[in-house]
Amino acid sequence: MARAKRKGYKDVLLGNITVPAESDKVTDKALISARKANNTAFEDLLLLIDGEQASGRVAFNIVRGAKTSELTDGDAALAWKRLSDKYEPKSAPSRLALKNEFNSKVLKNANSDPDAWLTELEDLRVRLIAAGSKMDDDEFLEHVLNSLPKDYEIVVSKLEDRLGAETDPLTIEDVRSALNLKYQRLTKGKGGSNGASSDDGHETALFAGGFKGNCNNCGEWGHKGYQCPKKNGGGGENNNSGSRKFSGKCHYCKKVGHRAFECQKKKADKGNNSSERSGAAIDDESEDDELELAFMAGDGKSTSNPKNLWIADSGNSRHLT
């Protein structure tokens, strides 16, 4: 419609101007202009459709078939009416379907972008209004505020006080701005990395929670052997069935390819009653004893005494320096 208005054939598309039949001989400038506008509109409708897609071919055939005995080369108003009936129906069942879709649109969780969600809601609202439904701003905003996850409770409590207020009433853009700001705060720093650099170049340690070491069962990072989901034939690639070689590192000799309870060096040391365990950080008595690791970052750029300043990712009960 924006293009039609700019190119001067909007009234032709809407049927507000009667286009003379092609067989009629007209001399009136208005009728000549109307015929020209109809031809331009029909041409644009055909050329602006993407015929490479299946849905585009359907739309193309809808337009191509919009011809009458008076306008054998194409009736733009008829083509537009058929397109509107197809893609913007105004029947009661269509309005009901759109209304149900609108009511089911909720922001599922804090990881979902509220800006994209609001845009979808606004599009559905426009389609509902075009189909003959009535929905004012307050009704739209009520649905928005009632369809947010618990993470937005504080934001909702601040915004709902302005809903329907005579002074400083709540607007859609106010809601969009507040939700985007909250979304940025909720997702700030989420990247899944165990370490990052701050803006001033100093290394910082980020606490990600959970066990910080390799599993003695599958060799993967982040859980202990007794917590391993792949233990006892759990369906993973590295389970106790022995179908795949252990790819982790032994906590006793530090070599890759076997677990501490399988370590030949450990068995030999125990057999010789050796009191020293070279290369062992912690004495492993069973396969479930894990090496507790702490990520630490020293501030080497401090001018006072950098060796005494540590930043600890303190998720452990003990630390070694």
Number of separate domains in the chain: 4
User: Which tokens hold the place of 71?
Assistant: 């306008």
Shared-domain flag, residues 230 and 163: no
Shared-domain flag, residues 183 and 97: yes
User: Which tokens hold the place of 273?
Assistant: 């009653």
Shared-domain flag, residues 198 and 302: yes
pLDDT in tens, the chain (321 residues): 899 999 999 999 999 998 999 889 988 999 999 999 999 999 999 999 998 889 899 999 999 999 999 999 999 999 999 998 888 877 788 888 888 999 999 998 888 999 999 999 999 998 888 888 888 888 899 999 999 999 999 999 888 888 888 888 899 899 999 999 999 988 875 554 444 444 444 444 444 455 667 777 777 777 777 777 776 655 444 444 444 567 778 888 888 888 888 888 888 887 764 444 444 444 444 444 445 555 666 655 555 565 666 666 666 667 676
Shared-domain flag, residues 203 and 316: yes
Shared-domain flag, residues 135 and 28: no
Domain with 253, as residue range(s), is: 213-291
CA distance 53 to 129: 28
Interacting residues of 121 by C-beta distance below 8 A, sequence separation 6+ = 102, 105, 140, 143, 144
The long-range contacts involving 174-178, CB below 8 angstroms and separated by at least 24 positions, are: 175/118, 175/141, 175/144, 175/145, 176/114, 176/115, 176/118
Shared-domain flag, residues 56 and 97: no
Query: Which of 187, 222, 246 is a domain's end point?
Result: 187
Shared-domain flag, residues 182 and 231: no
Shared-domain flag, residues 106 and 138: yes
Shared-domain flag, residues 107 and 83: no
